């Protein structure tokens, strides 16, 4: 049976390496922007990769080390679950951090907490807003559609994209604060410009375990 | 020919004044956000403080009205032809909402937390023929909690 | 649940784009598209218009100019000018439709060629011309425009552009009004090339009708330097323009060997 590991970064860098260089290298390896990489150095452990099997784990570790970041391979006990789902609380606490979402992934709910998990700390209000317009070709098609009725796909797409982007921005802000979940999310809009879809999503950023 | 000249003058004035006001506003927002960081605003209804700890609770509200300049309106119109994010209005809404939250926090004074914060924004002013509005009003309100002195 | 005060690192809610660059890019793209579209439209109209049948043109004109068609009774001036026109047409200018003359009481010294074979002659013009030959040349010039279907080209392009503008921005928007003004200036007054071609046609008709080309340039020599052009003022675009036309006509007369010494018939 293969062993699976979580690759955890605790903020330690190879001594002698310029911290700025390490951040830059790490940003390009992880394909994240500077803000997100900065939060990795807050002192708390971050799981960079979850449930990677032995050999690949070693490869990742050396890749991160060449960027200048010292990572620890922590073996994951228990059955391997598909990535993206928080593991249930039945996993024995030999794994130091249980049921964390994959790095960068933010859980969203519109109730007061994440059911089944404990809120450890909160960071206050986070919000994402966007305002998007569709190009004029779609507007003309839509006005034709007004004659015959039916779904106006281009506007549905526009609103979906808008909602998506607003939510993404809210999650990005939460990520920058070091949170991994946003609770009590609310959506609202203000019809500020005709022909453009404006959406605002806000909630409380928390860190759950 | 005169109309074209007037148009360019309005655009120039709008751009210069608008950008200056926007930068100054953002600087003010950043400094005040830093200062008021100690007072969290949350959208959850409950706080982790026990009822016995809480001395008083009160509704606090902050609002701001920010207006658009001519340059922003024109660029928004162009953007609606080609599609994409309308950046000129993004800054407007962002500033208005953050300003409203900051004013709400300022009203709360030495409260320990503001719970159940809601933020609304609405267009204000006569809608022009193109359907664009001239200003937006943002309102932020929540319940501020003060703790008993222990 | 403890609170950790932290501020976000970047401005997530604002797209990191420079406002000025965005404006320049979008405005440039829009002007490029508009100019390109205009050129394409011009080409398309130039291709289609010569193929429009005369019947179709009459029908189009009928819709707009029914007022002109149904005027009760005609003044003596009108009848006289009409007779002159008919003579010119019958003998020398082979147009597929009969030109209908209308004389409009107005101090304007001008004549308009409108779709459907309508020619509006202002009374000011009639008062200014001194000889029949002069008037004949002007009428022949208008016939030239009709022959080359110049009036349709300008009107066609203007109509399509106005329709597009109305569809995009609304019929009563600033842009449509501005476009209307621009089109007035550029489209409804004929281009230089069209004017020159009409001049040449007029000259040929004049020679054919009278046997000589006297009176062709009389009218142009009369126009004072400064005159308000008016919307349809293709006679008055500029004094150098008139000078050019005079020289061109004189050159043509020399080239084709027309005589200028013939008698001018008084009208």
Burial B41-69 (b: 16+ CB within 10 A, else e): bbbbeebeeeeeeeeeeeebebbbebebb
CB contact under 8 A, C22 and B85: no
Interface of C with B in 30-89 (CB under 8 A): 30
Q: Could you tell me if C195 and C137 are in contact, meaning their C-beta atoms sit under 8 angstroms apart?
A: no
Percent of chain B predicted with pLDDT > 70: 95
Q: Which residues of C touch B75 (CB under 8 A)?
A: 19, 22-23, 26
Given an 8 Å threshold on Cβ–Cβ distance, is C19 in contact with B15? yes
pLDDT-derived band at A78, boundaries 50, 70, 90: very low
A52 and A90 belong to one structural domain: yes
Inter-residue contact A129 to B97 (CB < 8 Å)? yes
In contact, B29 and B99? CB cutoff 8 Å: yes
The fraction of chain C above a pLDDT of 70, given in percent, is 53
Contacts of residue A114, Cβ cutoff 8 Å, sequence gap at least 6: A107, A181, A183, A206, A208
Evaluate if residue A141 carries a pLDDT over 60. Answer: yes
Could you tell me if A71 and A25 lie in one domain? yes
E strand or H helix that includes residue B123: strand B113-124
Interface touch A124/B92, C-beta < 8 Å: no
- CATH code of A42's domain: 3.30.1390.10
Residue scoring higher pLDDT (A186 or A62): A186
Helical ranges in A68-152 per DSSP H: 136-148
**How confident is the model over A119-123, as a mean pLDDT?**
92
Closest chain A residue to C6, measured at CA: A177
Q: Which chains touch B (3 or more CB pairs under 8 A)?
A: A, C
pLDDT of residue A174: 93
**Which partners does chain C have (≥3 C-beta pairs < 8 Å)?**
A, B
Q: HSE, CB side, 13 Å, CA atoms: give it for residue C153.
A: 18
A87 and A46 assigned to the same domain: yes
Counting every residue written for chain B, the total comes to 150
CATH number of the domain residue A181 falls in: 3.30.110.70
The pLDDT of residue C225 is above 70: no
- Encoding tokens for residue A201? 């999503």
Structural domains in chain A (count) = 2
B28 at A interface, C-beta within 8 A: no
**Mean pLDDT over each residue of chain C, to the nearest integer:** 70
* Record: fold of B2-147: Translation Initiation Factor IF3 (3.30.110)
Per-residue pLDDT at A125 exceeds 90: yes
Percent of chain A with pLDDT over 90: 25
Determine whether the interchain pair A123/C168 forms a contact, defined as Cβ–Cβ distance below 8 Å: no
Task: Spell out the domain ranges in chain C.
Answer: 23-69+77-256
Are residues B133 and A202, on separate chains, in Cβ contact within 8 Å? no
Contact B11, B74 (CB under 8 A): yes
Give chain B's mean pLDDT.
Answer: 89
* Residue A111 CA to its chain's centroid (Å): 19
Give whole-number Cα distances, C145 to A104, C2, C43, C93, C201, in Å.
73, 87, 19, 12, 9
Q: Taking CB atoms and an 8 Å cutoff, what residues of chain A touch B96?
A: none
Of the pLDDT bands very low, low, confident and very high (cuts 50, 70, 90), residue C189 is low
pLDDT of C234 over the 90 cut: no
Q: Quote the strand ranges of B18-81, DSSP E.
A: 54-67
Q: For B44, which of A136, A183, A195 is closest by C-beta distance? A: A183
Predicted pLDDT at A182: 95
Q: Does B89 touch chain A (CB under 8 A)?
A: yes
Q: How far apart are CA C115 and CA C69, in angstroms?
A: 12
> What pLDDT does residue A190 have?
80
- High-pLDDT (> 70) share of chain A, %: 79
Q: Which of A130, A177, A206 sits opposite C8 (nearest CB)?
A: A177
Characterize the bridge pairing of strands C2-3 and A119-133. parallel
Q: Is the dihedral of CA C80, C85, C88, C91 positive or negative?
A: negative
Strands A196-208 and B113-124 turn out to be unpaired
Cβ proximity of B117 and B139 under 8 Å: no
Residue A97 to residue A47: CA distance in whole angstroms: 9
Average pLDDT rounded to a whole number, residues A106-115? 91
What is the tens place of the pLDDT at every residue in C31-87? 898 888 878 877 877 777 666 666 666 665 555 555 555 455 567 777 777 777 777
How much is the ipTM here?
0.88
Looking at residue C201, its pLDDT comes to 81
pLDDT at residue B146 above 90? Answer: yes
Tell which of B39, B46, B66, B86 to mutate to test the A interface (max A CBs under 10 Å). B86
Rounded Cα gap, residues A193 and B86, in angstroms: 10
Contact A206, A183 (CB under 8 A): yes
From A61, A76, A101, give the residue that closes a domain: A101
Between chains, do C13 and A129 touch, taking CB under 8 Å as contact?
A: yes
Does A149 lie in the same domain as A73?
Answer: no
Contacts of A182 (CB under 8 A, 6+ apart): A106, A107, A108, A109, A126, A170, A171, A174, A203, A204, A205, A206
- What is the spatial distance between Cα A197 and Cα A133, in angstroms, rounded to a whole number? 6
| Residue C12 burial (C-beta neighbours within 10 Å; 0-12, 13-18, 19+) | buried
- Beta strand A4-13 with A46-53: parallel, antiparallel or unpaired? antiparallel
State the smallest CA–CA distance between residue C48 and chain A in angstroms. 26
Say which of B75, B93, B129 has its CB closest to residue C173.
B129
Interface test mutation site (partner B, options C1, C2, C3, C176, max chain B beta carbons within 10 A):
C3
Cβ pair A194:B123 closer than 8 A? no
By CA distance, what is C30's nearest residue in A?
A136
Mean pLDDT of C219-235: 50
Q: For B39, list phi and psi in degrees, rounded to 5.
A: -105, 105
Cα torsion B39, B40, B44, B49: sign: negative
Relative orientation angle of helices C174-186 and C150-169, to the nearest 10 degrees:
170
- Nearest chain C Cα distance for residue A79, angstroms: 31
**CA nearest C20 in B: which residue?**
B15
CA geometry: angle C71, C77, C78, nearest 5 deg: 35
Tell me whether B115 touches chain A (CB under 8 Å): no
Greatest distance between any 2 Cα atoms in chain C: 112
Query: Does residue B42 surpass a pLDDT of 80?
Result: yes
- pLDDT value for C215: 66
Predicted pLDDT at C171: 59
Q: What is the pLDDT of residue B22?
A: 92
Q: Is the dihedral of CA C49, C51, C56, C62 positive or negative?
A: positive
pLDDT confidence of residue C194: 76
Looking at the structure, do residues A93 and A114 belong to the same domain, yes or no? no
The domain boundary residue, chosen from A79, A101, A123: A101
pLDDT at residue number A98? 47
Partners for A (CB, 8 Å, 3+ pairs)?
B, C
Looking at chain C, the whole-number percentage of residues with pLDDT higher than 90 is 2
Q: What is the DSSP letter of B53?
A: G
Cβ pair C4:A121 closer than 8 A:
yes
Measured CA to CA, the distance from residue C237 to residue C227 in angstroms comes to: 9
Give me the pLDDT at residue A84, please: 38
Cβ B135 vs Cβ A193: under 8 Å:
no
Q: Are C143 and C203 in contact (CB under 8 A)?
A: no
Domain encompassing residue A41? 4-101
Average pLDDT over residues C91-111: 71
Indicate whether A93 and A46 sit together in one domain: yes
């Amino acid at each position: 049976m293969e062993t699976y590991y979580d690759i955890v970064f605790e903020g330690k860098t190879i001594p002698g390496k310029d911290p700025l260089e390490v951040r830059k290298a790490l940003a390009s390896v992880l394909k994240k922007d500077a803000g997100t990489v900065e939060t990795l150095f807050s002192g708390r452990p971050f799981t960079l990769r979850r449930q990677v099997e032995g050999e690949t784990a070693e490869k990742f570790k050396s890749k991160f080390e060449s960027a200048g970041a010292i990572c620890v391979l922590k073996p994951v006990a228990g059955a391997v679950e598909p990535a993206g789902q928080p593991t249930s609380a039945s996993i024995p606490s030999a794994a130091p951090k249980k049921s964390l979402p994959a790095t960068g992934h933010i859980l969203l709910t519109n109730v007061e907490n994440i059911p089944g998990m404990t809120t450890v700390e909160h960071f206050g209000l986070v919000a994402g807003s966007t305002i998007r317009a569709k190009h004029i070709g779609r507007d003309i098609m839509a006005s034709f559609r007004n004659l015959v009725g039916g779904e106006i796909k281009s506007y549905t797409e526009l609103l979906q994209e808008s909602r998506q982007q607003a939510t993404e921005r809210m999650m990005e802000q939460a990520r920058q604060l070091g949170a991994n979940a946003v609770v009590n999310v609310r959506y609202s809009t203000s019809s500020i410009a005709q022909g453009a879809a404006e959406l605002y999503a806000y909630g409380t950023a928390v860190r759950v375990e | 020919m005169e109309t074209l000249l007037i148009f360019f003058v309005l655009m120039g004035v709008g751009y210069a004044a608008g950008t200056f006001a926007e930068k100054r506003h953002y600087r003010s927002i950043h400094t005040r956000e830093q200062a008021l960081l100690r007072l969290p605003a949350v959208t959850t209804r409950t706080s982790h403080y026990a009822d016995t700890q809480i001395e008083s609770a009160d509704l606090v509200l902050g609002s701001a009205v920010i207006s658009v300049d001519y340059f922003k309106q024109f660029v928004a119109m162009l953007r609606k032809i080609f599609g994409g994010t309308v950046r000129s209005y993004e800054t407007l809404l962002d500033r208005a909402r953050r300003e409203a939250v900051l004013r709400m926090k300022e009203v709360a004074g030495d409260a320990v937390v503001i719970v159940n914060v809601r933020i609304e924004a609405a267009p204000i002013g006569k809608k022009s023929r193109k359907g664009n509005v001239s200003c937006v009003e943002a309102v932020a309100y929540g319940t501020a909690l003060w703790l008993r002195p222990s | 649940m403890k609170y950790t005060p932290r501020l976000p690192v970047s401005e997530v809610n604002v797209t990191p784009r420079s406002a000025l660059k965005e404006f320049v890019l979008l405005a440039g793209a829009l002007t490029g598209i508009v100019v390109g579209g205009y050129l394409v439209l011009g080409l398309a109209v130039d291709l289609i218009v010569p193929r429009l049948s005369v019947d179709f043109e009459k029908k189009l004109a009928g819709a707009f100019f029914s007022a002109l068609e149904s005027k009760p009774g005609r003044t003596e001036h009108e009848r006289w000018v009409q007779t002159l026109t008919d003579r010119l047409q019958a003998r020398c200018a082979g147009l597929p439709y009969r030109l209908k003359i209308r004389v409009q009481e107005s101090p304007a010294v001008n004549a308009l060629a409108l779709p459907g074979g309508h020619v509006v002659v202002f009374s000011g013009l009639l008062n200014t011309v001194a000889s029949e030959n002069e008037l004949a040349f002007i009428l022949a010039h208008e016939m030239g425009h009709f022959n080359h279907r110049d009036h349709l080209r300008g009107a066609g392009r203007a109509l399509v552009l106005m329709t597009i503008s109305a569809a995009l921005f609304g019929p009563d928007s600033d842009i449509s009004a501005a476009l209307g003004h621009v089109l007035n200036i550029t489209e409804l007054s004929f281009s230089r090339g069209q004017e020159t071609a009409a001049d040449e046609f007029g000259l040929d008709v004049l020679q054919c009708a009278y046997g000589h080309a006297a009176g062709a340039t009389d009218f142009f020599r009369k126009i004072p330097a400064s005159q308000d052009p008016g919307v349809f003022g293709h006679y008055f675009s500029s004094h150098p323009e008139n000078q050019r036309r005079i020289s061109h006509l004189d050159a043509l007369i020399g080239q084709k060997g027309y005589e200028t010494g013939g008698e001018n018939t008084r009208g």
